[in-house]
């Protein structure tokens, strides 16, 4: 089993990456390596496995056998500990030019094991304009053995000058049966549960895995899908919005609390807090207060990003609900993502018109745009709830 085995339903992308990995081995051996390039852009819808594909390709580049999947090199890449792999995931709302320049300096180093220096940049579309310009210069003139692997939802999310210098790998949403097969064979999930999770996740592999294995994720989905039938009045709309925002805040707090504490303690230690040696005191040494403030700002940005992502996931669940309603109203012969609540879908389909359903979907998408533009979440979500009731 190679490192590409987990890329469900991505046969065309796997073929391209496998050939490129073979070309990369030719380069290492002194050949021309036609088909290998120094910059790649992995694109595809949420859940298609952009980061998984990039990481598998990194393993194929660093493995002497092109990504066998069982050697130490492959194992180190897949768990993120390989010395020649620099993996970056922006934690906050954006990735600054300062962070990008630091990354470029690290990327300039020679490979420690003689093959490639690989930079895997997840969510590269979060780079600020200044950061993207700095990244462009690094991609235009990379060291001879450095490979950049950028990940973004769509090619248009990246500057055209960066996009034009990358080879684009476009991933697709895998089908329900393919995702269910992975859950059943690799996670030992019962087939009915695996198929439910794959269908509900609409091809989003990590989401499907969470639905299949985590009861709390299933409960949250049920709560979100129960919102449309609960919007019987203005008070209910406000209450539903408050619950949704509060849940997102709790998820952000739970995801960041332990990490924030560890980061703060480590920074304080580095700046000498509690030290008793000569010339030191029990407080932060000079410069520590500024560094601590910078860390707190990054932590707040990370919490905001997690909260926003949580709200966005809930809104996409609502979109899937109304998409199924619309499919039933038109009698479309398509698979329903939420077939397990067909009774609610059927009732909504009979009690509303296709025009109303489309207006509800449009309202949800506008809410997503407002949240991305930093509109107050409570206000934005309250507005969408009122729109869903009154469409």
**Angstrom distances, CA of residue 316 to CA of 46, 201, 271:** 11, 10, 44
Same-domain status, 265 and 347:
yes
Domain contains 108? yes
Q: Which helix (H) or strand (E) holds 48?
A: none
Domain contains 280? no
**Angstrom distances, CA of residue 218 to CA of 213, 268, 325:** 9, 40, 21
Q: Structure tokens of 316?
A: 């996409």
CATH code for the domain of 159: 3.40.50.300
Considering its fold, how many domains does the chain have in total?
A: 3
* Cα 358 to Cα 64: distance, rounded to the nearest angstrom: 53
| Per-residue pLDDT tens digits of the chain, which is 391 residues long | 689 988 888 989 999 999 999 999 888 877 776 668 899 999 998 878 899 999 999 999 999 888 998 999 999 998 888 999 999 988 777 888 999 999 999 888 888 886 899 999 999 999 999 999 999 999 988 888 899 999 999 999 999 999 999 999 999 988 899 899 989 998 999 999 999 999 999 888 888 999 999 999 999 999 999 999 999 999 999 999 999 999 888 888 887 877 788 878 877 777 766 555 554 444 555 566 777 787 788 788 888 888 888 999 999 999 999 999 999 999 999 999 999 999 999 999 999 999 999 999 999 999 999 998 889 999 999 999 999 987 5
The DSSP annotation for 176-233 comes to HHHHHHHHHHHS---HHHHHHHHHHHTT-HHHHHHHHH-HHHHHHHHHHHTHHHH--S
What is the separation, in whole angstroms, between the first and last Cα of the chain? 51
Same-domain status, 159 and 139:
yes
Same-domain status, 253 and 126:
no
Question: Can you give the residue range of the structural domain that contains 42?
Answer: 10-170
Domain contains 227? no
Domain contains 254? yes
* Cα 89 to Cα 110: distance, rounded to the nearest angstrom: 22
Same-domain status, 40 and 157:
yes
Same-domain status, 203 and 249:
no
């Amino acid at each position: 089993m190679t490192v590409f085995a987990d890329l469900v339903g991505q046969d065309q992308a796997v073929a391209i990456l496998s050939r490129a990995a073979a070309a990369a081995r030719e380069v290492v051996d002194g050949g021309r390596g036609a088909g290998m390039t120094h910059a790649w852009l992995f694109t595809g819808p949420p859940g298609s496995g952009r980061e998984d594909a990039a990481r598998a390709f990194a393993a194929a580049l660093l493995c002497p056998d092109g990504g066998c999947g069982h050697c130490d090199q492959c194992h180190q890449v897949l768990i993120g500990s390989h010395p020649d792999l620099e993996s970056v995931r922006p934690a906050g709302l954006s990735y600054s030019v300062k962070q990008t320049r630091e990354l470029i300096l690290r990327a300039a180093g020679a490979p420690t094991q003689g093959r490639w220096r690989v930079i895997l940049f997840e969510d590269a579309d979060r780079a600020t304009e200044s950061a993207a310009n700095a990244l462009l210069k690094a991609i235009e003139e990379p060291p001879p053995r450095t490979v950049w692997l950028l990940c973004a939802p769509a090619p248009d999310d990246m500057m055209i000058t960066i996009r034009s210098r990358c080879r684009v790998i476009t991933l697709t949403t895998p089908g329900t049966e393919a995702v269910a097969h992975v859950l059943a064979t690799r996670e030992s999930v019962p087939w009915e549960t695996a198929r439910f999770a794959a269908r509900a996740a609409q091809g989003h592999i990590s989401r499907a895995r969470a639905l299949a294995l985590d009861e709390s994720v299933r409960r949250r989905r049920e709560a979100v899908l129960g919102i449309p039938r609960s919007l019987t009045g203005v008070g209910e709309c406000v209450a539903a919005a408050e619950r949704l925002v509060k849940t997102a805040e709790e998820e952000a707090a739970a995801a960041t609390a332990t990490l924030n504490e560890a980061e703060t303690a480590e920074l304080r230690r580095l700046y000498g807090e509690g030290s008793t040696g000569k010339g030191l005191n029990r407080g932060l040494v000079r410069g520590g207060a500024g560094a601590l403030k910078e860390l707190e700002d990054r932590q707040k940005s990370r919490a905001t990003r997690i909260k926003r992502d949580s709200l966005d996931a809930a809104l996409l669940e609502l979109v899937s609900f109304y998409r199924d309603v619309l499919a039933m109203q038109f009698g479309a012969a398509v698979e329903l993502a939420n077939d397990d609540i067909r009774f609610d879908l059927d009732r909504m389909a009979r009690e509303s018109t296709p025009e109303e359903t489309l207006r509800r979907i449009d309202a949800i998408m506008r809410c997503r745009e407002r949240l991305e533009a930093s509109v107050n979440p409570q206000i934005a979500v309250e507005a969408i709830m009122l729109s869903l009731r009154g469409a």
